[in-house]
Structure 1
Amino acid sequence: MKVGVIGLGYWGPNLVRNFLSTPGVERVYGCDLDEKRLAFIKSRFPAVEITKDTDFVLRSADIDAVAIATPVATHYPLAKKAIENGKHVLVEKPLTASVKEAEDLINLAEKNKKVLMVDHTFIYTGAVRKIKELIDNGEIGEIYYFDSVRINLGLFQHDVNVIWDLATHDVSIMDFVINSRPVSVSAFGTSHYNGIEDIAYINVNFDNGIIAHFHVSWLAPVKVRRILISGTKKMIIYDDTEPSEKVKIYDKGVVVTSQEGIHRL
């Protein structure tokens, strides 16, 4: 397989590094409009073929798959052209700038029998996969709620708000570990600087009574990456800032007392 990486800024070098270390990947092409980024990639990864020609990467019959790590507004046109030219596509989150664009890409990939994938990295980590295993095995019982906090000071994005930038991580984790269908979503946010929301709260309700809440912010004095999942038997805390023991299980439930006696929920 030969892979092209378009966008060599913040996340692109990580994609290049991982593709180079992936068995079966014969060659990696790195593409960016910035000469300095191209020179940086070439200095770090001499085996990479570098180019400023985006059209070459999207159209070349020699390239089997394309990874896109560019500003969000460019995701749709780049991914669309790549799929139309017979390439599998990996896109950094968020997939597109609108639901309609995302649906168009999904339909196009299905029509052309190509893989279209969003790089929701957390669902491939050992910690999140362990959480899913605990839930699927019934160890924490029936889920009551999913509560997430992802806050820090900056980085302020110029093209998407804090929901699209930060909450997408936790929404992907929620979607991965909870086997229920949401029935309603509400989101509230506000902007303090450039017209793009920098703090927001999201509520999600499920058809079986589970409630999920997300707090995301670029205006916090500390960095917090914490998820709390409460069940009828046990509770889980997932703290991604912990160097070890990211997942902790608490053997705590709820006891209800009444005139008839004590009932453990």
Structure 2
Amino acid sequence: MKVAIVGIGNMGSKYINKFVELGYETVLIDIEDSKLAKYPENFKKYKDLNQALDKENIQALFVATSPTSHIPIAKKAIERGINVLIEKPPALSSKELEEAINLAIKKNVYLHVSEIELQSSIVRNLKLNKKPSGIKGFRLNLGKGYINPFYDLAWHDLYIFQYIIGDFKIKSVKDKGNIFEVYAISDNTEFDLEVAWLNPFVRREWLLDENIKLNFVEDSIYHNGNIIESDKKDKLKLMIQNFINNPSFESSFRALKILKEIENIKI
């Protein structure tokens, strides 16, 4: 299996480590010489995507660049019949993503959007007897992303919510300075979410109807005094393997719905 990664910064380097563990032949693509130079010569390295696509028999392409370049890069690979996985957020408009999805369908390949948290121990092992009436979520991070805390952080919680609970409507997004407050609803389940960059501490958890806590830092579930601890499986590796072995459009369709919801509100 020969894979390629475009963008070998923070997230791209994590993909590379997993490709090595999985035994994939890996092609590195980045416009910065300094980033490419950090890797040994047994990696094929390119500054130009077109050149890499011309010279290498790439079977799957991973894109971990700025969200503004995800779709243009993905389209180049899709045109050549290559399955593509792009990091989140996949695009800044639903139109852009929808065009890429339609192109992939036309070319008989798959476009996948990263949904790494669906491979967490929490999501894989969560069993709900009924949908909760309310969820209070927190995703407060130390670091900083590409666009703003809403696009870069809330995205995770929105696709998890959609996967577990169902389609939703975003009712409001409020910029409170350091924290963005998001309110969404799906049928009878309300979702209140706080996300932040450059927070003094890390907090990533959901509280469901006050009797279930999902701790995404520990990857553990707390329910009525019982703990379902993390099974310690590597969620990035699981996501990569799922994309390689069972590609589909499910993640892209979820992402498209989320982008359309975002476009209906003012941030």
* TM category, shorter: 0.7 to 0.9
Cα distance, 1:235 vs. partner? 2.9
Kept in 2: contact 1:148–1:213 (CA 8 A): yes
- Corresponding position: 1:172 with 2:151: no
Q: Structure 1 residue runs of 4+, over 4 Å off?
A: none
Distance 1:33 1:113, change over 3 A: same
Structure in which a larger fraction of residues adopt helix: 2
- Corresponding position: 1:237 with 2:232: no
Distance between the aligned counterparts of 1:101 and 1:150, measured in 2? 27
Cα distance, 1:181 vs. partner? 2.6
Distance between the aligned counterparts of 1:10 and 1:235, measured in 2? 36
Structure in which a larger fraction of residues adopt strand: 1
- Corresponding position: 1:122 with 2:117: yes
Kept in 2: contact 1:8–1:30 (CA 8 A): yes
- Corresponding position: 1:149 with 2:149: no
Cα RMSD between the aligned structures?
Answer: 2.2
Cα distance, 1:17 vs. partner? 1.5
- Residue in structure 2 matching 1:67, options 62, 68, 89: 62
Which gives a bigger RCO, structure 1 or 2 (Cα 8 Å, sep 6+)? Answer: 2
State which structure, 1 or 2, has the greater radius of gyration over its C-alpha atoms.
1
Partner SS, residue 95 of structure 1: coil
5+ long unaligned stretches in structure 2: 227-267
User: TM-score, normalised on structure 2?
Assistant: 0.78
Cα distance, 1:77 vs. partner? 0.5
Distance between the aligned counterparts of 2:190 and 2:148, measured in 1? 23
Letter in structure 2 aligned against 1:65: A
User: What is the match of residue 29 of structure 1?
Assistant: 27
User: What is the match of residue 247 of structure 1?
Assistant: 221
User: What is the match of residue 199 of structure 2?
Assistant: 220
Number of aligned residue pairs: 226
Distance between the aligned counterparts of 2:179 and 2:26, measured in 1? 38
User: What is the match of residue 210 of structure 1?
Assistant: 189
Kept in 2: contact 1:5–1:30 (CA 8 A): yes
Cα distance, 1:8 vs. partner? 0.5
- Corresponding position: 1:185 with 2:175: no
Partner SS, residue 41 of structure 1: coil
Kept in 2: contact 1:13–1:41 (CA 8 A): no
Distance between the aligned counterparts of 1:227 and 1:191, measured in 2? 20
5+ long unaligned stretches in structure 1: 193-197, 253-265
Cα distance, 1:48 vs. partner? 2.0
* Percentage of pairs with the same residue: 29
